[in-house]
Amino acid sequence: MSAKRNTFRDDIIAGCVCGITSVLVSHPIETLLVQRKINSPDVYQNVLKSFTLIYKRQGFINGFYRGNLNLPMTSPAFTTSIQFFLYGQLRRHIVKDENDIKQFMLCGALTGFGLSFIESPIGLILGQIHGNLNRRHTHAFDFNIKGCCKYIYENNRGLIGFYKGFGATLISSMTTSMFYFGGYEYIKKHLYQTHYRIFPSQNKKKHLRLNTLFSGALGGMCAWSICYPLDVIRLEIQSDDIRPGHRKYNSYLDCVKQIYEQEHSIKTFYKGFLPGLIKAIPINAACFFAYEEVYRLLE
């Protein structure tokens, strides 16, 4: 029993560290992207100059981590913690052959399934705030978490209403997690094999940190590139008006059809892809690096 408790503890610690890491890395990047978007290009000419200006004007903590305790900033930390915890647990029970990538992809898909039950209500709250900010003339509720939760509860069948868009979340989360963890494990395995072919005399148990960083970055890119349209569809459904008679989309397929008909091009599903990819690379590299380092320290 003690061994099980230890592995459970290790997965919790690894998940929490990954969650904290995701916010520590993502929030400064998000701040830079937002500042460059809302300010004059003459002021924020490039990333380095933007970073320097924010640091000089507001300092490091106030400049890059201000507002870090609200839901949009803490929810990724929470969901990332749960995601890596679930993956760690599933990997211990499912993966029997480290060379079989399908087993890792199955763990990823099941991780996404479990995570959907947490992501769906959080995504709906954030989506409704975002959607109603773009429909300000309706003023359906005050633009805060409490007002949004009350609005959803009263207008969408009580507590079950917080799971509007669950199907879209399930499709997005399971597919993304499958390619996210499967891609990471596949790339890491091949990078390790390549490294030891070039340096055959090195200790096979050596911890290659650079390979972990590359694998995390490329695994994140793989998942983001393949699954980004699924997240666009999920966000559209969860930001749609929840009130009967006001809804834009009748179903998942209707949402796909209407998004496509905006420009009659697949490109419509990739709007905002590049800024998201820029964020995904360092965040995922850092998360997997933290994940592996925690397990190495706990051994």
* Sign of the torsion formed by the C-alpha atoms of 133, 135, 141 and 142: positive
Q: Mean pLDDT throughout 14-41?
A: 78
Looking at residue 2, its pLDDT comes to 44
Query: Would you list the DSSP string of 17-68?
Result: HHHHHHHHHHHHHHHHHHHHHHS-TTTS-SHHHHHHHHHHHH-HHHHHHTTT
pLDDT of res. 137: 46
Q: Assign 139 to helix, strand or coil.
A: coil
Question: Is the model's pLDDT at 195 over the cut of 60?
Answer: yes
Q: How confident is the model at residue 212 (pLDDT cuts 50, 70, 90)?
A: very high
pLDDT digits 0-9 by tens, 46-100:
667 777 777 777 777 666 666 544 555 567 788 999 999 999 999 999 999 999 9
Q: What percent of the chain clears pLDDT 70, i.e. is strictly above it?
A: 83
Give residue 25's pLDDT.
87
* Domain ranges for the chain: 70-262
Q: How big is the CA angle at 50 (ends 47 and 55), to the nearest 5 degrees? A: 125
- What is the number of alpha carbons within 13 Å of residue 4 lying toward its C-beta? 2
70-262 has which fold?
Mitochondrial carrier fold (1.50.40)
pLDDT band at 39; cut points 50, 70, 90: low
